[in-house]
């Protein structure tokens, strides 16, 4: 039985909220699900996550690995950075 996009998105949001967001929040960042289509979860990255040199690692080694492992409908993750972020993603 195929699940609806809404069901898959609810599971993605649950993982982001419970496991990913607390970690990126410690560094001043924030991630959220922007869309889910054709197996690709598009993650909006803002705060310190936007422009951070490690955001690609967080996205692919962390978020993508977790989502593809726990949610069979997710085949890939794409990141979108916040062009309006005013947070400096680098340590002072």
Q: How far apart (Å, rounded) are the C-alpha atoms in residues 10 and 7?
A: 5
Higher pLDDT among residues 41 and 46, named by residue? 41
**The pLDDT value given to residue 70:** 96
Reduced 3-state DSSP string for 20-84:
HHHHHHCCCEEEEEEEEECCEEEEEEEECCCCCCCHHHHHHHHHHHHHHHHCCCCCEEEEEECCC
pLDDT of residue 29: 82
Q: What does the pLDDT look like over 58-83, one tens digit per residue?
A: 777 889 999 999 999 999 999 888 77
Q: How many domains does the chain have?
A: 1
Model confidence pLDDT, tens digit, residues 19-30: 999 988 888 888
71: containing domain = 5-20+30-81
Among 30, 48, 42, 31, residue whose Cα is nearest residue 5: 42
Q: Give the pLDDT score at 65.
A: 94
Q: Does residue 60 form part of some domain?
A: yes
**40 lies in some domain:** yes
Residue 50, domain CATH = 3.30.300.130
């Amino acid at each position: 039985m195929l699940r609806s996009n809404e069901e898959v998105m609810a599971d993605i949001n649950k993982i982001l909220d419970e496991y990913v967001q607390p970690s990126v929040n410690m560094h001043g960042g924030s991630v959220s699900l922007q869309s889910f289509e054709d197996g690709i979860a598009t993650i909006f990255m803002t705060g310190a996550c936007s422009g951070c040199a490690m955001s690609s690692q967080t996205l692919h080694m962390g978020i993508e690995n977790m989502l593809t492992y726990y949610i069979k409908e997710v085949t890939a993750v794409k990141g979108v950075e916040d062009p309006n972020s005013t947070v400096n993603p680098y340590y002072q």
